[in-house]
Structure 1
Amino acid sequence: MVNYVLQITADLENLTDLQPQGGCDDPNFSFLFKLKCGRCGEVSQKETCVVLNDSVPLPVGKGTTHLIQKCKFCGRDGTVTMVPGRGRPLTQETSESGKFSPLMLFDCRGYEPVSYAFADGWRAVSLEGTTFEEIDLSGGEFAEYDEKGECPVMISNLRATFEVVKL
């Protein structure tokens, strides 16, 4: 079992607290990423979708997981289980310092997550307190105008990484 934390960063202009719509542990937020097989090294051609609210029973033993997937190349099964409670929103301070903010922890068995894909369902707050909801980051950026603060807001230069962590 290897634990991977998904970390994100971006350039935030007049924005802070970038996170999934319902918070870092949003039960309905879709995490999209490709998986690399731990046996043969084959990387999935399409992104895999993992959602905290969707769980399936483990094929052996007791318990549940959020994804069971068979490698199309070698036939090996692998699982991905989400571990909530470890994520934090990306703040402007973290962004300006060039650091990454942890979003979600994944317990992976037989697979390694690679290349996270940003999609829709994000939320951020302007420095003046205006909340921007249902932000779509699939195009790689977001630009809007904050009427209350009378300033432009922008998310650009999105980056994500999976880092191995020990618990």
Structure 2
Amino acid sequence: MVNYMLMITAELDNLTNLQPQGGCDDPNFTYYFKMKCNNCGELSKKETCVSLDETVPSPHGRGTLNLIQKCKLCGREGTVQMIPSRGLPLTFETSQSGKYTPLMVFDCRGLEPVGFVFGDGWKAESTNGTKFNEIDLSQGEYADYDEDGQCPVMVSNLQANFVVVK
């Protein structure tokens, strides 16, 4: 078993607290990434989607998992279980420092997550307090205007990686 923490960063202009719409532990938020088989190294052709509200019974009879996926090349089965309560919103300060912030932990057995894909369903707030909901990051950036604060807001230079954690 290996736990992978999804870490994100971006350039936030006049925005803070970038996170999934319902918070970092939003059960309805879907994570998209490719899976690499730990047995043969095969990389899935399409992105795999995983969310907290989608579970399947464990084949070993111990609870539930968020994903069971069979490798198309070697036939080995791998599993993913999401571990909530360790994610944080990406703040303006963290963005300015160029650091990454943790978003979600994935307990992976037989699989390794690679290449997170940003999609829709994000939220943030301006540094003046205006809330921006249903942000779509699938194009790699987001731009709008804060009428109350009278300033442009933007998310750009999105980056993500997976790091092994205990």
Which residue in the other structure is 2:85 paired with?
85
Instruction: Report SS of the residue matched to 1:6.
Output: strand
> Percent identity over the alignment?
68
Counterpart of 1:134 in 2: which secondary structure?
strand
- Cα deviation for residue 62 of structure 1 reads 1.8
The answer for unaligned runs of 5 or more in structure 1 is none
1:17-28 equivalent positions in 2, closer than 5 A: 17-28=17-28
In structure 2, C-alpha distance between the alignment counterparts of 1:111 and 1:2, rounded to whole Å: 9
| Alignment-derived partner of residue 76 in structure 2 | 76
Deviations 1:130-163 (A, max 9, x none): 0000000000000000000000000000000000
Q: What is the alpha-carbon distance in structure 2 between the residues aligned to residue 125 and residue 26 of structure 1?
A: 17
Tell me the residue number matched to 1:154: 154
User: Please, what TM-score do these two structures have when normalized by structure 1?
Assistant: 0.99
**TM-score w.r.t. length of structure 2:** 0.99
| SS of the residue 2:125 aligns to | strand
CA distance in 2, matches of 1:53, 1:131: 25
Could you list the runs of 5+ residues in structure 2 that have no partner in the other structure? Answer: none
Runs of 4+ in 1 over 2 A off after TM superposition: none
CA deviation vs aligned residue, 1:115-140 (integer Å, no higher than 9, x gap):
00000000000001000000000000
Deviates more, 1:156-165 or 1:60-69: 60-69
- Which residue pairs with 2:99 in the alignment? 99
- The match for 2:139 is 139
Please name the residue that 2:58 is paired with: 58
Give the Cα separation in 2 of the matches to 1:61 and 1:27.
Answer: 23
3-state DSSP of counterpart to 2:10: strand
Aligned to 1:29: 29
Q: State how many pairs are aligned.
A: 166
1: CA distance, partners of 2:143 / 2:75: 43
Q: Deviations over 1:82-127 (max 9, x none)?
A: 0000000000000011100000000000000000000000000000
